[in-house]
Structure 1
């Protein structure tokens, strides 16, 4: 009964205007501050973490609710949206996620958005004249208390260029940084991975092949630098980049040429996660094809990794078998077990998996 009441309360609060909701959250009842169970006005440790999948084929994003009580299972449900947001989110692609806010490419010329799925609030942002960009990212600069959107531009010459947009002021600035020697970057329009106050991108060379290099952007200093990737970069199979495993640092997950799933974890230079680039890499997991076959109870000739994300101490892997059937696998680092997760609905249309912390923080105003 209590759990049901909590869910109903969340649904009611999701429809309350942000200003009224903020006043409600901070109201004192009986001399004590009363906060909504399960929602938070900050990204505190008690705020629940959710999983969202950005799907293809003209469909809306969906929530994946993971349950580990008994046999692991996931409940798939479409995200409830405010009227008018359905069209904007149909073909949206994530640029990045920070503090429970998603930055999205809305698949329209010059149209982007910042989305709070907990409040079902979407704010469109128009950025005029932004052409031929590749890597993109989103994060928060604590020194200026400002969210930033970053676009690495496709340019010619000895220097690369990036456009950095401030959500607080709506002002953008152009930043130059050196090009890599002997590497012709193939801009893949890949979203960056946020670790601390740094955004990381895999560098792809001419022809779309992954190199052994990462591009890093420091959100506080607005500077770019290059970092070395794990030794298996450069193979034909493109890696998936995630964070949050084994201390929260940067990780790569990919399928090897022989069909194994390999996970590498970065050791960062400073105590602050992601604060000083990458010092070294270590292999923290290797799942053989035989282990994968036992998990899905069938033989595998070909497996494709669609997405990988860290959640509650697990590594969740969305895979496609033989290019047809989609499966969700959960790897537990403590007992080193791999489980095929049951789902209430087919997940063939599920794409990029992202985790976020539920928050009541309103979307910052932008005057762009």
Structure 2
């Protein structure tokens, strides 16, 4: 190659920093193919710094699990009339797919990783974008009530929190197991604030807001109390937080993402029978100072938006936030509808879907990322 051609080629080549900036905006599916381009790209996609940078541009997806062999992935269309485009995707995770069934519980998700609870004290970490599922066997065998999953930025480690299920009629709990997945550390800690509550839940997942996990608490009559249990992933301490006294009958949905990413509750109002939504005001440390009711959607409004005549009670199957919108999967008798509520415009819209939602029990959101699934080696 002549010196002139070499100079021309160098001029056409983009600076490596600019190439990295472009690649951080490429979908995971394409990056998986780009690993074959060259060794430097293959190494780049494994770097934690690149994974974090790519995560800031990654799209958010809606997912509904059909654990036998498929899941539903969804995204909003750009048309004037809101529509959820759903596609069935095979769960291609090799031999570990046998663990996925109707009894599987989603403990939480963070950075594109889903933490799952199977049967027989077996857990799993799953990245749907990479089609990677790794099983986790804790070093101790117990029965658990509330469970949670999140990321501790101070230690750069993912943690699973398991509140111990005590034996006997009055199953009060005062201990929890914390599992650090990257470091392989496990420790039992006290949660004395639970000594006055009966733990009636069974493998209920917590809601992650920042670096704090929140759970609902119930009384002896299986009724939601005016208290939430919180766990700080950094300080590893439990606390009790206030909860709205009328957040809905049954077990209202506790979600994150509205009003700047804070905590919200969505439930069926005892009085009106419609949907009632509360938003939390957080303090500087992420705790809850107070609550405010941000909307109460009556049955009449729901009838107009869905074109369904409501002759009986409605049932809230699931609620999530997506692009600043509140999405609620509501059952009207045998029919399921996906509703979208815009808090800024105070408008409620029925979302058309490309596939039936009749078999969906809950929805989740997740971000498509390159974050690898950690495999812990327990240090006992």
Taking structure 2 as the reference length, the TM-score comes to: 0.83
Following the alignment from structure 1 to structure 2, what is the Cα–Cα distance between the partners of residues 340 and 55? 23
Give the counterpart of 2:41 among 9, 23, 27: 23
Q: Which has the higher helix share?
A: 2
In the other structure, the counterpart of 2:345 is 335
* 1:9/1:149 CA distance change after superposition, 3 Å: closer
Which SS does the other structure have where 1:61 is aligned? strand
Residue 89 (str. 1) matches residue 100 (str. 2): yes
Superposed CA offset, 1:306-333 (max 9, x none):
00001001100011111x1111111111
Give the counterpart of 2:258 among 245, 260, 266: 245
* 1:129/1:296 CA distance change after superposition, 3 Å: same
CA RMSD of aligned residues (A): 2.7
Q: Unaligned 5+ residue runs, structure 1?
A: 1-7, 28-38
Following the alignment from structure 2 to structure 1, what is the Cα–Cα distance between the partners of residues 40 and 341? 38
In the other structure, the counterpart of 2:61 is 50
Verify the 8 A CA contact 2:306 2:350 in the aligned structure 1: yes
Following the alignment from structure 1 to structure 2, what is the Cα–Cα distance between the partners of residues 22 and 348? 46
Verify the 8 A CA contact 1:25 1:41 in the aligned structure 2: no
Verify the 8 A CA contact 1:186 1:207 in the aligned structure 2: no
In the other structure, the counterpart of 1:267 is 281
Instruction: Please report how far the alpha carbon of residue 65 of structure 1 lies from its aligned counterpart in structure 2 after TM superposition.
Output: 1.9
Residue 177 (str. 1) matches residue 191 (str. 2): yes
Following the alignment from structure 1 to structure 2, what is the Cα–Cα distance between the partners of residues 331 and 112? 34
Instruction: Please report how far the alpha carbon of residue 86 of structure 1 lies from its aligned counterpart in structure 2 after TM superposition.
Output: 3.3
Following the alignment from structure 2 to structure 1, what is the Cα–Cα distance between the partners of residues 27 and 190? 49
Following the alignment from structure 2 to structure 1, what is the Cα–Cα distance between the partners of residues 297 and 249? 19
1:183-194 alignment runs, 5 A limit: 183-194=197-208
Give the counterpart of 1:124 among 123, 128, 135: 135
Give the counterpart of 2:305 among 278, 283, 295: 295
* 1:43/1:190 CA distance change after superposition, 3 Å: farther
In the other structure, the counterpart of 2:18 is none
Taking structure 1 as the reference length, the TM-score comes to: 0.85
Which SS does the other structure have where 1:199 is aligned? strand
1:72-221 alignment runs, 5 A limit: 72-82=82-92, 83-91=94-102, 92-106=104-118, 108-127=119-138, 129-155=140-166, 160-180=174-194, 182-221=196-235
Give the counterpart of 2:296 among 265, 270, 286: 286
Give the counterpart of 2:320 among 309, 312, 315: 309
Following the alignment from structure 1 to structure 2, what is the Cα–Cα distance between the partners of residues 285 and 127? 42
Q: Unaligned 5+ residue runs, structure 2?
A: 1-25
Instruction: Please report how far the alpha carbon of residue 42 of structure 1 lies from its aligned counterpart in structure 2 after TM superposition.
Output: 4.0
Verify the 8 A CA contact 1:55 1:351 in the aligned structure 2: no
In the other structure, the counterpart of 1:321 is 332
* 1:146/1:359 CA distance change after superposition, 3 Å: same
Following the alignment from structure 2 to structure 1, what is the Cα–Cα distance between the partners of residues 258 and 159? 25
Following the alignment from structure 2 to structure 1, what is the Cα–Cα distance between the partners of residues 40 and 252? 41
Which SS does the other structure have where 1:90 is aligned? coil
Following the alignment from structure 1 to structure 2, what is the Cα–Cα distance between the partners of residues 51 and 90? 20
Verify the 8 A CA contact 1:168 1:366 in the aligned structure 2: yes
Which SS does the other structure have where 2:41 is aligned? helix
Question: Number of residues paired by the alignment?
Answer: 343
Instruction: Please report how far the alpha carbon of residue 246 of structure 1 lies from its aligned counterpart in structure 2 after TM superposition.
Output: 0.7
Following the alignment from structure 2 to structure 1, what is the Cα–Cα distance between the partners of residues 40 and 250? 46
Greater Cα radius of gyration, structure 1 or 2 = 2
Verify the 8 A CA contact 2:75 2:85 in the aligned structure 1: yes
